[in-house]
Structures are given as structure tokens and as C-alpha cells.
Amino acid sequence: MIMQYSSPKHPLAKYPLSKYLPSVGLFTFIFACISACADTPAPVSDTSGNLNRVTVQQHFQALQQRFHALQQGEKDVIHITQFGDSHSAADFFTGRLRERLQARYGNAGIGWIAPLQIRGQRHALVSYEQEGWQLSDSRQEDGDFAMGGYTAIAENPLASVQLKARKMPLSGKWLLTLLAQAPKTLPDNSDNRPATLNLFDGDVNLQTIELVASQGWQVYQSQGRFPITVESNTAGVKIAGFWLEKANANGVIVEAVAANGAQNTLWNHWQSRELQRDLLKLSRSDLLIIAYGTNEAFNKHLTAAEFSRDFSRRIRWLKANLPHSVIIVIGAPEAYLPSALLPADDEEAIMPLSSSQGQHKINSFSEANYPVTVKASKQMQTRPLAAKTQPSGCEILRPPLLSQIQQAQARIAKAQGVLFWDWQAAMGGACQVQSLIDKGLMQEDGVHLTIEGYQHSADAFINYLQAEKLLAL
């Protein structure tokens, strides 16, 4: 049985659609190298005029029909991409969404995953064994980052990363797409040999890919079975990510492109043309879910006006560059300040995550790593956690910008003709943190949910998609 949050009426209750939309065994190897330059589609209108609303309505109805056709046995793959912060990075919310949609519509694969295991994050289906790589992270430095903001850099000619099934067997043949880049200059000990990547199926060396030099990020594809190993023969080779799709399968793919501590301005550190190519030609995103806001709400150096400007620009960019995709904004979930729940001597300092210029910084509070979520989910205290004495109303207990961030997300979604789901309302509304902790649905930090909490949230989100008649489970 699927348990649901209660959903009382709330000032940020979701807008109905009528408001928004009048609104690898042996590898059989295939190799392809695709230009890093994507054709730019003609931009669509950024206004909320009738033509734009009709166009959005048409795209929604087209995706609705594709979901229905999958139910009727038609051959198709629907790609869903969720961008977000730590609420998405542990793959509990998106993992539940993937599990339920694939059970109904078919399992077409996994989609994008990071090039390496990222500390404190996980994927529900894939684990990594890695050696000899350095991770470059767009949360901490600048660079030519592609979608996701992670780059694996080979430290020596023996660097390798193996992709393995975490729990469930990943059987059958898979299409592996990887984004790689040759070093700008070859190491002195390379004897001028071109940079290459060796791909293995188990212990069998199946193919050597020669990387195109001085061409930036390039796309390479192969087909085979798990576990898959990628090995570099040259120091300095870079990998920006993998895409995993079942060969000759129909159904749904749900991918999470997320980072602990992320704000939507993290995109400013990614190359716009690379991001457009990745979304349009690699992820082929039919449904885009944008789930930021928590870290912005804790950012003492951000104003509501700055957030509104940046977030509005983000949605406009998505509409212009993926004009046929359906976009859903998820409002930031309810949260309390640590001081609202913890004794003063146990409080963790909240460091600013970023400025409006996008200088990102990870800190212990915002980095909710998934082992903590697992532990908290298994060891929730049975006694209620005593909150500090509350004044009339709970705004003093909440992050300073949370309400303004949530309101801006709803307002911008409506103005730009995209969908909006109110996560806070699905949690029972504002000021429900203590109740959720007592029910075992939220961690004691007052910010992050337990595994059960994320799963219940995903169920509520699916209910929303059904209420809007995008899909039927």
C-alpha cells in the first residue's frame, strides 16, 4: 500500500493544469564520435502570450499521448531528467519515481550518471570501482564542465572506472554513451601515441577508442553487458559522464543530475552549449523536473530578487533550448533552521553556500550525504525530539528566504507557462517539520527527509502527475 502525506489547503497549493496550461558477456561494439557543437533550435517566445501557452499545451498533450501509447504497447522511450540538490542526489526520490514509472510503462534504462562515485551521493542501481582518477567539481572550481558539473581526470595511464550493478542485476545488452576529452598536450612519456580509452566487458578487452585530439568534449558509444570497465591509457584524459540505456527496450528512463549543496546558479559553471547538447542529443529529455530552492533559502548573501532573476533566466533558457520538452518546477520543501531543533551547544554553523555570482562552497550542513540518510532512516528515535519554545507562527524557525523562494518558484512557473508542484503542501504545509520527524519521515536536521519520506514525496508527486492527467498508473 502506498502511504501519502496529507495535503491541506496552503497558500502555495499547486496550480492546476488549467491555470498553467491554457497555459555487458561479450560486447557487440558500436562506435560513434559526434561533434560537440549542437545545432541551436530557434528560440521560442519567453512571454506568457497565447501563442506560447498554446505551444506548451500541445507539447504536454503530445507527451500525454506518448505515455498512453506506451501503455498500449507502442515502441518508444520517454526520458525524464531531474535537476536538483541533495534532495535528488541520493536518488531516493528519483529512485522511487523510476521504480514506479518503469513498473507501469517499461524499463528503458538508467540515463545519465556521474563519471565517478561522488562523495556523499549514490545511484540506486549503479555502483563504482575507481582508481587513478582526480575529480574536478564545478561546486568548487571553474572549468569546461558539461552537464552535471563533474569531470574525471586520469592521473596516470592505468586509471580505470568500473560500473557495476548495485543490487538488482542489470541484465541484457546496454547502450553506453560516454562524454570524453583528450588532453590538450600529451604527456612526455606517451611517445606521441594518441590518447585512448579501453573498454572491457568483465575481463575481456573489447575495444580501444582513439580520442579525437583538440576537439573538446566528444561523444562515444558502445553496446555490451554489465559490468563495464573504462580504462585510460593516457594521463590527462577526461570523462564528464555516462549515459546507460537498455538496447532495443521501450519504456521510461529517469535520471537525476544533482549535487549536494547545489543551487540553481551552479548551472553558471557549466558550458551552455555543452549543456544544450547533453540535454537535447544525449539525455533527450522529454520531461524536465527542476528541484532547487533549499540551499538558496539558507543563503544569507542572496536576496529574493536575485533568486527570482536567476531562476527566471534558467526557465527561459530551458524553454528556448528544449522547446518540445515539458517542464515542471518543484517548489522547495519545508525546512527548519538547525537552531529550531537542536540545543544551542549542538548547533552547526551555516556557511553561505554561494553568492549571486555563483561561487559555490560545500559545508557540513548542506552536504547531506546518503549514508546519513540511510542511518537516520534505520535509527529514528522513538521519542519525539523536543523543539524549542515556538513563538506564535513558525517563520522564526524557518530559513529566512524559504517562503519567498517558494513563492517566486510558483510565480515564475505560472508566468512562464510551465507546471509547478508544491512539495511543501504535500508535506502537510508550513511548520510541519516536528510532526514529520515524529512520524519518521524527516531527519532530525529539520531539512532532509528519511528514505521513507523521500519515497512518500515521490508517491505524492506521481499523484500530482496523475491528477494533471499526464500519466496513469
- The CATH number of residue 399's host domain is 3.40.50.1110
Do the domain assignments include residue 350? no
Among 86-90, 200-204, 259-263, the least confident range? 200-204
pLDDT at 215: 77
Do the domain assignments include residue 353? no
User: CA–CA separation, 461 vs 458, rounded Å?
Assistant: 5
Q: Which residues touch 159 (CB under 8 Å, ≥6 apart)?
A: 131, 132, 133, 231, 232, 235, 237
Cis-peptide into 169, omega within 30 deg: no
Instruction: Quickly tell me which residue has 510541519 as its cell.
Output: 432
Q: Are 241 and 150 in contact (CB under 8 A)?
A: yes
- Three-class DSSP category at 280: helix
pLDDT at 184: 83
User: CA–CA separation, 202 vs 342, rounded Å?
Assistant: 49
Q: What is the mean pLDDT of the chain?
A: 82
Check whether 52 has a pLDDT greater than 70. no
User: What's the sign of the alpha-carbon dihedral 14, 17, 18, 23?
Assistant: positive
Instruction: Quickly tell me which residue has 554553523 as its cell.
Output: 349
- Say if pTM beats, i.e. exceeds, 0.85: no
User: CA–CA separation, 67 vs 33, rounded Å?
Assistant: 31
pLDDT at 370: 53
pLDDT at 207: 86
pLDDT at 111: 98
Q: Which residues touch 185 (CB under 8 Å, ≥6 apart)?
A: 236
Confidence of residue 332 (pLDDT cuts 50, 70, 90): very high
Q: Within 366-432, where are the H helices?
A: 370-378, 402-415, 423-426
> Span 43-70, mean pLDDT?
73
Check whether 238 has a pLDDT greater than 50. yes
Whole-number Cα distances in Å, 427 to 25, 215, 461:
46, 48, 11
Do the domain assignments include residue 125? yes
pLDDT at 239: 98
Most confident region among 28-32, 46-50, 255-259 by mean pLDDT: 255-259
Check whether 360 has a pLDDT greater than 50. no
The better pLDDT of the pair 77, 215 is held by: 77
Check whether 2 has a pLDDT greater than 50. no
Among 107-111, 116-120, 167-171, the least confident range? 167-171
Q: Domain containing 93: what range?
A: 17-38+45-187+195-342+358-377+391-467
Q: Which residues touch 18 (CB under 8 Å, ≥6 apart)?
A: none
Q: Which residues touch 319 (CB under 8 Å, ≥6 apart)?
A: 44, 46, 327, 416, 418
The better pLDDT of the pair 350, 422 is held by: 422
The better pLDDT of the pair 129, 379 is held by: 129
Confidence of residue 54 (pLDDT cuts 50, 70, 90): low
The better pLDDT of the pair 402, 37 is held by: 402
Characterize the bridge pairing of strands 326-330 and 150-154.
Answer: unpaired
Do the domain assignments include residue 12? no
Characterize the bridge pairing of strands 77-84 and 251-258.
Answer: parallel
Do the domain assignments include residue 10? no
> Span 351-373, mean pLDDT?
37
> Span 141-169, mean pLDDT?
94
Among 35-39, 66-70, 99-103, 266-270, the least confident range? 35-39
User: CA–CA separation, 165 vs 217, rounded Å?
Assistant: 27
Maximum pairwise Cα distance, the chain = 73
pLDDT at 199: 92
Do the domain assignments include residue 205? yes
Confidence of residue 155 (pLDDT cuts 50, 70, 90): very high
Do the domain assignments include residue 170? yes
Characterize the bridge pairing of strands 77-84 and 204-210.
Answer: unpaired
Whole-number Cα distances in Å, 128 to 30, 37, 290:
23, 30, 26
Q: How many domains does the chain have?
A: 1
User: CA–CA separation, 457 vs 473, rounded Å?
Assistant: 16
The better pLDDT of the pair 352, 438 is held by: 438
Nearest partner of 297 among 360, 367, 353, 370, judged by Cα: 353
pLDDT at 218: 94
Do the domain assignments include residue 270? yes
Check whether 390 has a pLDDT greater than 70. no
Q: How far is CA 238 from the centre of its chain?
A: 21
> Span 135-150, mean pLDDT?
95
Whole-number Cα distances in Å, 345 to 211, 339, 349, 399, 446:
55, 10, 11, 19, 17
- Three-class DSSP category at 169: coil
Check whether 261 has a pLDDT greater than 70. yes
pLDDT at 392: 45
